[in-house]
Structure formats: structure tokens, C-alpha cells
Amino acid sequence: MATLTCPGCAATVSPDDLICFTCGTNLPRHGQVEEETPPTVMQEYLRQDAGAASGRAPATGPISPVVLRLAFPAGNVDVPAGTSLVLGRDPGESLVAAAFASYENVSRRHATITVSDTGHATIRDEYSTNGTFVNDDRVLPGTDVRIADGDRVRLAADVTAEVSLPGRAGFSSNGHQNS
């Protein structure tokens, strides 16, 4: 299998990833022609010369290790430790809006996934029209609900993802290092 690289920073990416977590670039989908789009919020943040004030160059390596993966039908969404990610159809609100573009019942700003620095993950419904569910239990709007490895997250009626939350050591149960 050929190695895939990010067009923005040349980092190695998975064929199912929707964005590069090294630089924040939206990754093209196989067989899909992408128009030139404005930079994402994450790309603009990374472009800021954060090191200018301290006299150091900005970091060029990965932001942090991936600790949570949501396997949606349109592709995987990875959320690094210490970050939050909005799930929804509005590209101005969600870095992964392309994954939900064809689902009219997913709100523009549907839910927020947060992964703490220690690897604890939560999901919060952002007052979506059709609801957010964890293992078929509805998440109350504005309330954080803990999610764990093996849980199922559903946005609206038909967009379901399996949650993969590897152990803190960064290795899956089969002994392979998670990327």
C-alpha cells in the first residue's frame, strides 16, 4: 500500500483521515476534486508566529498524540489529547464538516468532543435539532457525557461512529502502536 502524505506539510496520514493533525489541512477524499478553500481555524492558529515573542521558532512536529478516534461512515475523525473538536456541517465551525455534508439532519454545530490532557473524553450536544446519542441514550443539550473505548456515538438519526480510545501508553490491545 502506498504511503499517503498531507499536501500541506508532507506528514504521513491514514487513508481514512479527514484532516492532518500535524498541520490541520483538510485532506482530499479519494476520487473527490477539491476546490481551493480558505485555511481552517487550526491552520491559522498554527501559522501564527507563536515563537516570535519567545525568540523560538514555532513547533513543527505533531501537536499531541491522538487518543480518540471516531470511525464515521465518511471517514475517521481523530481528536488529540488536550483539544476539543466541533462535529457539524458548517465548515466555519467544524474542521471535519466534510464528513457530515451529505447529512441534512446533522446540525451545523451539532456536538463537541473534548479529550483532556489525561485522555478522558466527553461529548456535549450543542443544542442540536435532532440530538446526540451515546449508546442509544440521548445526551442532554449543554451537558458533558463521558465516552469510552467501544462506545457508539450517534448524531441525529443515522450518523453513527464507533469510539476507539486507546490506553494512555499509546498502544492498542493488540500491541501495535497507535498512530
- Domain range summary for the chain, segments of one domain joined by +: 4-164
Give the pLDDT confidence score for residue 90 in this predicted structure: 94
According to CATH, the topology of domain 4-164 is Tumour Suppressor Smad4 (2.60.200)
Q: What is the pLDDT along the chain (179 residues), one digit of tens a residue?
A: 567 888 777 888 888 787 777 777 777 765 544 444 455 555 455 555 444 444 555 444 444 465 899 998 888 888 888 889 999 999 999 999 988 988 999 999 999 999 988 889 999 999 999 999 999 999 999 999 999 999 999 999 989 999 998 764 443 333 334 44
Give the pLDDT confidence score for residue 32 in this predicted structure: 46
Give the pLDDT confidence score for residue 144 in this predicted structure: 96
Give the pLDDT confidence score for residue 117 in this predicted structure: 82
Q: And the C-alpha cell for 149?
A: 473505548
Give the pLDDT confidence score for residue 48 in this predicted structure: 54
Give the pLDDT confidence score for residue 170 in this predicted structure: 42
